[in-house]
Structure 1
Amino acid sequence: MGYAIVGIGTWFLVSDLHEGVLSNSSENRFCKLAILLGYTWLIGHGIWLLIGSSHPYFYDVLLHTFFLGFAFSMIWGHAPKLLPLFLNLRGTVFYDKLWWGIMVFEFSLASRMVASILEIPPLRKVFVVINGLVILLMFIMLLVGLVAKVRRMKETNYLIK
C-alpha cells in the first residue's frame, strides 16, 4: 500500500506541478501551493507506511500525515474558491492573510512530525497545540472572508438569485 500511495502522490504532484504556481494571481498561487503541499504529505504518508512500522509513534505520524497534511492542505487549497460556490455566491473568499495561516500550519505540522519521529514528546505537544490553533484560525479567517464578501455583495446587490 505504501508503494501505491507514493506512486499516486508522485503522479498527482508531477501532473499538477506545471500549472498555477507561477500564476500572476496570488489566489491561484496560494491554492496551487496548498494542493502541491497536500500531494507532498501524501507521498510522506506512503513513505512512512514503508519504513516506520516499528516506530513507537507510527500511528500518530501515519494518521496525521494523511488527515492533517494531505486532507487539510486540500481543504485550504480548495476552500477559497469552493466555499462561495456552496453558498451560491460569486467569486472567492481569498485574501492575503491566508498565506500566514498556511505557512504556520505547514511548519507546525512538519515540526510535529519531526518531533514524533525523533521521539521528543514535550516538543511534539507544543506543536500539537499550535497545529490545532492554526486549524481553528484558518477556519475563522475563511469565515471572516466569507462574511465580508456577503456584506459587500449585499451592499452592491450582486447576490446570485
Structure 2
Amino acid sequence: MLLVLSVLEAPLVGASVPRICFLVEAVALAGASVAVLRRQPELFNGVALAAALVFVTANALWLAGRPVFQVVPWWAGFVVLTIAAERLELSRVTRPSRAAVGVFLGISLLLGGVLVAQTFRYAEGLRACGGAFLLFAAWLLRYDIARKTIRLKGLTRYIAAGLLSGYLWLAFAGILALAGGAGGLGRDAFYHAIFLGFAMSMIFAHAPVIVPAIAAVPIAWTRAFWLPLGALHGGLIVRVAADLGGEPDLRSWAGFANAASILLFVLVLGRGAWAARVSASGR
C-alpha cells in the first residue's frame, strides 16, 4: 500500500530522469529476485527478494518527493538485507539451528516494519531501525563463518577481517540510531557507518574473489590488500569522531582519507590483476 501511494503521489511531470531510472532498476532487480526464488525456494532468496522490494519502495518514495533523510534508511535497509541474505546462504556451512534461522527471519520482518514506521514517524522509527541493525550485526557476528576463518591465513583471513569489521560498523550504526544520536552531524556518522563502514567493507572483502568470477580476470593475493582496508577504517573512525565532536576541518580531512582508501583499493586490485597475468604468462 505504501508503495502504491508513493507512486500515485509522484510528481511524474517534473520528476527527474535519474529517479525514474533508479525505480526501473529496482523493479528489474525485484523481477530477477522473483525468478531466482521460484527456481530455488530458500529463505535466503526470500530475504533477497524482500531486500529488492525495499529498494523499490525506497526509490518510489524518492520519486514521490519524500525528503531524502526519510528515504536513506530504506536504502540502508536494502543494503543490510541484501548482504545478510548472502551471508545466510553461506552460513549453511556452519549449520545454524532452526531457532537461529527463526531469529534471522524475525529480525528481517522487524526491519521491514520499522522502515515503514520511520517513513511516518521518523525519530521513533529511526531508533527502531537502529535496534534492527544492531540485532542483525549481533546475529552475523555470532553465526557467520568469518568467526572461524579469521584464524586462517592469507586471503581467507583478509576476507574474514573485512566481514567482521563491517559487522562492527553496522552494530555501531545501530547503537547510534538507537541512542537517538543520528541527528545533525550524527546523521553523517550514521550514514557513513553503514554505507562505508559496513557496505564498503563487504566490497573490499569480496572483490578479490568476485572480480575473477564475474570478469574472468585472475587476481593475485598480496598483503597490500590490507592497506586500503586499514585506511578505510582508520579514516572512518576519524570522521565519526569529528562528527560527534563537532570538528568540521577534521571531518573534511577524514573524508579525503576515505576517498583515498577507495582509490588505493582500486590500485591494489589492478596490481593484483597485473601480477596474476605476469605469473600466468611466465609459466
Question: What is the TM-score with the length of structure 2 in the denominator?
Answer: 0.51
Could you report, residue by residue, the CA deviation over 1:37-88 in whole angstroms, capped at 9, with x for unpaired residues?
Answer: 0111111111111124464213211211111000110011111111111122
Contact 2:217 2:273 in 1 (8 A): no
- Structure 1 residue identity aligned to 2:235: S
- Structure 1 residue identity aligned to 2:267: I
Query: Match for residue 46 of structure 2?
Result: none
Residue aligned with 2:184, SS? coil
Shift of 1:26: 1.7
Q: What is the RMSD of the two structures over their aligned residues, measured on CA atoms? A: 1.7
State whether structure 2 residue 248 is matched by structure 1 residue 121. Answer: yes
Q: 104, 121, 132: which one pairs with 2:259?
A: 132
State whether structure 2 residue 158 is matched by structure 1 residue 22. Answer: no
User: What stretches of structure 2 of length at least 5 have no aligned partner?
Assistant: 1-128
Query: Match for residue 133 of structure 2?
Result: 5
Q: Work out the CA distance in 2 between the residues paired with 1:54 and 1:80.
A: 33
Q: Work out the CA distance in 2 between the residues paired with 1:70 and 1:61.
A: 12
Residue aligned with 2:222, SS? coil
Q: Work out the CA distance in 2 between the residues paired with 1:22 and 1:54.
A: 35
- Structure 2 residue identity aligned to 1:42: L
- Greater relative contact order structure (CA < 8 Å, 6+ sep): 1
Give the fraction of aligned pairs with identical amino acids, expressed as a percent. Answer: 28
User: What stretches of structure 1 of length at least 5 have no aligned partner?
Assistant: 157-161
Number of residue pairs matched? Answer: 154
State whether structure 2 residue 174 is matched by structure 1 residue 46. Answer: yes
State whether structure 2 residue 230 is matched by structure 1 residue 103. Answer: yes
- Structure 2 residue identity aligned to 1:19: K
Greater mean deviation of Cα atoms: 2-11 or 44-53: 44-53
State whether structure 2 residue 215 is matched by structure 1 residue 87. Answer: yes
Query: Match for residue 66 of structure 1?
Result: 194
Shift of 1:140: 1.5
Question: What is the TM-score with the length of structure 1 in the denominator?
Answer: 0.87
Query: Match for residue 164 of structure 2?
Result: 36
Residue aligned with 1:19, SS? helix
Structure 1 residue runs of 4+, over 3 Å off?
52-55
User: Residues 138 and 89 of structure 1: is their aligned pair in 2 closer, same or farther, counting only changes over 3 Å?
Assistant: closer
Structure label with greater radius of gyration: 2
Query: Match for residue 159 of structure 1?
Result: none
